[in-house]
Amino acid sequence: MAEVSLKGVKKSFGRVEIIKGVDIHINDGEFVVFVGPSGCGKSTLLRMIAGLEDITEGTLEIGGRVVNQLQPKQRGVAMVFQSYAIFPHMTVRENIAFGLTIARASKQEKQQKVAEAARILQMEHLLDRRPSQLSGGQRQRVAIGRAITRKPAVFLFDEPLSNLDAALRMDMRMEIGRLRRQLGTTMIYVTHDQVEAMTLADRIVVLKDGQVMQIGAPMELYHEPANRFVAGFLGAPSMNFLNVDVLDLDGEAAMVGNQSLEPIRVATRGRPFRKGGKAILGVRPQYLRAVQSGKGLLHGIVAHAERLGSETVVDLSLRDNSELIAAFDEDKVFEPGDALELTFDTALAHLFPDEGELQTH
Amino acid sequence: MAVNPDNYGLRLFVRYLVLCLIALIFIFPLVFMINSSFKPDSQLLADTSSLRAFLPVGDISLNNYFGAFRRAPVGLFVLNSVLVTGVTVLLSLLICSLAAFSFAFLRWKGRDVLLSIVIATLIIPFETIAIPLLLLVSKLPWIGLDGLHWGWLNSYRVQIIPWVADGLTIFLFVQYFKGLPGELIEASRVEGASWWQVYYRLVMPLSGPVLATAAILKFLVMYNQYLWPLIVVQQESYRPVMVGLGYFFQLNVAWGEVMAYLTLITVPVLVFYLLLQRAFIASIASTGVKG
């Protein structure tokens, strides 16, 4: 087990800077998830930790040792790939024992460790099969088995569940969670799936354009996003953003409103706003409640409703023609064209500076 | 009897007929060679104006084979060719796959330029470099059991070493290696494999199809060598089969013996090809399944 520390890490391919200075400290035994949209550099960052990509600038420490110049095998890491990357010409047993074979482990040690991995992953009956005889979920299990037999200091997962179908993905997600509790090893997990991030992580690192947007516990990021990107990235359906006018400012709060929104007071959380200027109000769909006419903060017309059984997701068109999504946690019937008034706890709303506004001032 | 509206049976029959005719055209020379090898020259020449040329009829005997063995040391020539070809094919698979491994997987300065140069050598015909190469090998040193001496002429090595590495074989391997999933290589690197281990534990076992292809191509080139051994080998003891053909084209060409000789030297090629073709198909069947 080991700590992993990235200090001012940068990566360029030619003149293009992919990772623009990343500082992350991962504690011993921690499960950290790198999450972000395609092309944000999360996989590149993981590959740099694995030693599959050079580090252009900055230092990478694993277990207190600078490993920038070390080969993958000297770093004490194991990696699980999106495409499983299990060797097609070897049986499951040979695949799992590959690292041990390379390390010239004794036959007895190999047998014992393969048996242990097979027991943990419940695949004793698959050991003599070839990869072509396995399903996607079983293949990924083999890849994980290969990773755990070497008892690495750090586990790296590169979108391990992306190739699986939805039902299997949930099973494997739970299995990885269980594995993590069983092994207690430091794990770094890359995904673009925020559900995986929210459910598995001790801490989430949200990346965008090669920069860290925010690091924190899942609920911390969910409830206190540092910026509009993080707020919009985590949570499903994603947070609503309304363009509002800043009507008044008083110390720690701002009075905002627009054509569709009654004036409300929202905490500024230390962000800069200007009276008379523009701002963006973020409200999660789950925080919206339908109320009787005359009591709502927001006024809209139902455009489309989806009944999911446990919740109802409504797409509304507001007076200023902007769109709003509301999620009610029960089965309700709405017809397109229905007028709907909504309210929410203003303490749960977030106010973000308008990016265009910031550039002009 | 059910009537097939599309005349499927008839179409199949016509298709097979056409295919058989084409196959016959390709096999006729071979049939002619084998049949003629059993006929005396007078009958052989007389038969060429009729279909009898392709049939084992008339005065059939093995005399031509005895004649061929009397005229030239056929066994020695075949042995020489098989030895030179076999060793070259094996060395070529090893050296070219190692070179291609470096081009495909390792990162080093000048790699792409060098690969372009290697591929560019494909367009140079051998005839243009035969004489410079001859001058070169005639002056190269060699340390054998009997000490150091100069010049490689009249030896097996002069027939083998210049043919071990070639642009086409390297190019075939590079293309195949680039098609292997990169994550497999990366996974084995993370698991602790050295590049050497990646080569022989992972890449080579997955390279069945390209090994078979490269081996067949190299075999054909080597077994059919004529010009190069003709100029670098004067001693009979190192002479390969194609050069040995010269023994039969002297004052009186004995066509029957030529055919017998050709039959004798063609058999190893056919056997080799048929054997490898099976391996070739088997290897495609086992590695092609990726699920």
Per the CB < 8 Å rule, is A87 touching B202? yes
Per the CB < 8 Å rule, is B291 touching A72? no
Per the CB < 8 Å rule, is B192 touching A78? no
Per the CB < 8 Å rule, is B289 touching A77? no
The pLDDT value recorded for residue A361 is: 39
Contact residues, chain B, for A79 at CB < 8 Å: 186-187, 190
Do A241 and A322 form a contact (C-beta atoms < 8 A)?
Answer: no
Q: How far is A21 from chain B (nearest CA, A)?
A: 25
Per the CB < 8 Å rule, is B197 touching A102? yes
Do B118 and B240 form a contact (C-beta atoms < 8 A)?
Answer: no
Task: Enter the pTM of the model.
Answer: 0.81
Per the CB < 8 Å rule, is A89 touching B291? no
Tokens representing B51 are: 């279909």
Chain B residues within 8 Å of chain A (Cβ atoms): 181, 183-184, 186-194, 197, 201-202, 205-206, 286-287, 289-291
- Choose among A88, A99, A134: nearest Cβ to B192: A99
Per the CB < 8 Å rule, is A150 touching B206? no
Among B106, B189, B191, the strongest candidate for a mutation testing the A interface, having the largest count of A CBs within 10 A, is B191
The CATH class that applies to domain A240-360 reads mainly beta
Count of C-beta atoms within a 10 Å radius of residue B31: 14
Contact residues, chain A, for B106 at CB < 8 Å: none
Instruction: Examine the pLDDT at B288 and tell me if it is beyond 60.
Output: no
The pLDDT value recorded for residue B289 is: 37
Among A43, A86, A89, A154, the strongest candidate for a mutation testing the B interface, having the largest count of B CBs within 10 A, is A89
- Choose among B183, B197, B287: nearest Cβ to A88: B287
Residue carrying structure tokens 């030896």: B155
Do A225 and A350 form a contact (C-beta atoms < 8 A)?
Answer: yes
Chain A residues within 8 Å of chain B (Cβ atoms): 50-52, 71-73, 77-79, 81-83, 85-89, 98-99, 101-103, 131-132, 134, 139, 143, 146, 150
- ipTM field: 0.80
Instruction: Examine the pLDDT at B291 and tell me if it is beyond 50.
Output: no
Instruction: Examine the pLDDT at B163 and tell me if it is beyond 50.
Output: yes
Among B180, B183, B188, B190, the strongest candidate for a mutation testing the A interface, having the largest count of A CBs within 10 A, is B190
Q: How far is A215 from chain B (nearest CA, A)?
A: 27
- pLDDT by residue for chain A (361 residues), tens only, comes to 689 999 999 999 988 999 999 999 999 999 999 999 988 999 999 999 999 999 999 999 999 999 999 988 889 899 999 888 999 999 999 999 999 999 899 999 999 999 999 988 888 899 999 999 998 888 988 999 999 888 899 999 999 988 888 888 888 888 888 888 888 899 999 998 888 999 999 999 999 999 999 999 999 999 999 999 999 998 888 999 999 999 998 888 999 998 888 899 999 888 888 888 899 999 999 999 988 888 889 988 999 999 988 889 999 999 888 899 999 988 888 889 988 899 999 999 999 998 765 444 3
Per the CB < 8 Å rule, is A103 touching B192? yes
Q: Which CATH architecture has domain A4-233?
A: 3-Layer(aba) Sandwich (3.40)
Per the CB < 8 Å rule, is A79 touching B190? yes
B232-268 b/e (C-beta count within 10 Å ≥ 16 → b): bbeeeebbbbbbbbebbeeeeebbbbbbbbbbbbeeb
Per the CB < 8 Å rule, is A85 touching B189? no
The pLDDT value recorded for residue B276 is: 72
Q: What is the 3-state secondary structure (H, E, C) of chain B?
A: CCCCCCCHHHHHHHHHHHHHHHHHHHHHHHHHHHHHCCCCHHHHHHHCCCHHHHCCCCCCCCHHHHHHHHHCCHHHHHHHHHHHHHHHHHHHHHHHHHHHHHHHHCCCCCHHHHHHHHHHHHHCCHHHHHHHHHHHHCCCEEEECCEEEECCCCCCHHHHHHHCCCHHHHHHHHHHHHHCCHHHHHHHHHCCCCHHHHHHHHHCCCCHHHHHHHHHHHHHHHHCCCHHHHHHCCCHHHCCHHHHHHHHCCCCCCHHHHHHHHHHHHHHHHHHHHHHHHHHHHHHHHHCCCC
Give the contacts of B228 (CB within 8 A, at least 6 positions apart): B126, B130, B159, B162, B163
Q: Which of A133, A60, A59, A144 is nearest to A99 (CA)?
A: A144
Q: What is the 3-state secondary structure (H, E, C) of chain A?
A: CCCEEEEEEEEEECCEEEEEEEEEEECCCCEEEEECCCCCCHHHHHHHHHCCCCCCEEEEEECCEECCCCCHHHCCEEEECCCCCCCCCCCHHHHHCHHHHHCCCCHHHHHHHHHHHHHHCCCHHHCCCCHHHCCHHHHHHHHHHHHHHCCCCEEEEECCCCCCCHHHHHHHHHHHHHHHHHHCCEEEEEECCHHHHHHHCCEEEEEECCEEEEEECHHHHHHCCCCHHHHHHCCCCCCEEEEEEEEEEECCEEEEECCCECCEEEECCCCCCCCCCEEEEEECHHHCEEECCCCCCEEEEEEEEEECCCCEEEEEEECCCCEEEEEECCCCCCCCCCEEEEECCHHHCEEEECHHHHHHC
The pLDDT value recorded for residue A208 is: 93
Tokens representing B125 are: 């015909």
The pLDDT value recorded for residue B220 is: 87
- Chain B residue with minimal CA distance to A75? B190
The pLDDT value recorded for residue B281 is: 66
| Domain extent listing, chain A | 4-233, 240-360
Per the CB < 8 Å rule, is B291 touching A131? yes
Per the CB < 8 Å rule, is A73 touching B287? no
| Structural domains of chain B ordered from first start | 85-244+268-287 (1.10.3720.10)
- Chain B residue with minimal CA distance to A85? B184
The pLDDT value recorded for residue B151 is: 86
Per the CB < 8 Å rule, is B188 touching A132? no
Count of C-beta atoms within a 10 Å radius of residue A44: 19
- Chain A residue with minimal CA distance to B186? A52
Do A200 and A185 form a contact (C-beta atoms < 8 A)?
Answer: no
Q: How far is A233 from chain B (nearest CA, A)?
A: 29
Per the CB < 8 Å rule, is B206 touching A88? yes
pLDDT in tens, B55-111: 888 888 999 999 989 888 988 998 999 999 999 999 999 999 999 999 999 989 999
